[in-house]
Structure 1
Amino acid sequence: MSTSDHSQAPASFAVSVPGFADSDLEVEDLDPGQVVSGSPVVSGKVLWESPDGRQLRGIWQITPGVVTDTEANELFVVISGRATIEVEGGPTLEVGPGTACVLREGDRTTWTVHETLRKAYHISL
């Protein structure tokens, strides 16, 4: 039986994502070329980053509007809000509270955010 080496693993932590105040999130730049309609505002907070910068865990939020993106490898769970995510050449995903979603690196997406969406995510670069 082998034991796992946890020396490179992040410290265990818990955070109340729904109760995480908007003021605790940092507004992120959104390229105007990504905005299809509305005036969406993106904010977030990285809670953990691997030493090599190739893995991130955090909270991300976007207000209503329509934006395009090219995705990284990501697993996320929607905490609040609702959106429709159209994956170019793939499915259309309806996401809301409790939805777990996986996006692949390079997926070209269009996000139609119906209600301010907040998610907890893990990204692998």
Structure 2
Amino acid sequence: MTPVILKASANLPSNELDSISPVARPIGEPVSIMRSKVAFKSSSDSTSAGVWECSPGKWRRQVAEAEFSTFLSGRCTFTPDGGPTIVLEAGDSIYFHPNTNGEWKIIETVRKAFVILP
């Protein structure tokens, strides 16, 4: 199987990211806008990998699958339901267990490389 590469993902211009949509569960204004470029999506399960970007705002996380991400740029916080606030910035990596719920607060547009796992 051939490896999948997304060259210079930290420097990829935002207008070269494929999908553009507002977050599904915003909390107030401004409403964050998400952009992504999926480099790999499995045909047999929900595994996917790529780059994701999000503009400032506050919203509820709703990813049901496990996720591992490394932040490439920007600053944000994530407050898991019932847990302490986590500050994330460029260079940080995080693993979300399946069904991790909580609140994102994007302070400065963030970009992360992600892998969604079944």
Could you give the per-residue CA deviations for residues 70-105 of structure 1, whole angstroms, max 9, x where no partner exists? Answer: 232000000000000000023321100000001111
The answer (yes or no) to whether the contact 2:22–2:32 under 8 Å persists in 1 is no
- Which 5+ residue runs of structure 1 have no aligned equivalent? 1-6
Equivalents in 1 of 2:96, 2:4: separation in Å? 25
Q: What is the root-mean-square deviation of aligned Cα atoms in Å?
A: 1.5
Task: Select which of 55, 59, 79 maps to 1:63.
Answer: 55
Equivalents in 2 of 1:93, 1:47: separation in Å? 27
Partner of 2:46: 54
The answer (yes or no) to whether the contact 2:5–2:39 under 8 Å persists in 1 is no
- Which 5+ residue runs of structure 2 have no aligned equivalent? none
After superposition, residues 33-52 of structure 1 pair within 5 angstroms as 34-37=25-28, 38-52=30-44
Task: Select which of 98, 109, 118 maps to 1:105.
Answer: 98
Asked if 1:28 corresponds to 2:58, the answer is no
Could you give the per-residue CA deviations for residues 29-62 of structure 1, whole angstroms, max 9, x where no partner exists? Answer: 532xx11022211110100112214210000011
What TM-score, normalized to structure 2?
Answer: 0.88
The one-letter code of the counterpart of 1:35 is P
The alpha carbon displacement at 1:14 in A equals 4.7
The alpha carbon displacement at 1:118 in A equals 0.4
Equivalents in 2 of 1:35, 1:115: separation in Å? 16
Change in CA separation of 1:11 and 1:69 when aligned onto 2, cut-off 3 Å: same
Partner of 1:4: none
Identity %: 22
Q: If you compute each CA radius of gyration, which structure gives the higher value, 1 or 2?
A: 1
Change in CA separation of 1:105 and 1:27 when aligned onto 2, cut-off 3 Å: same
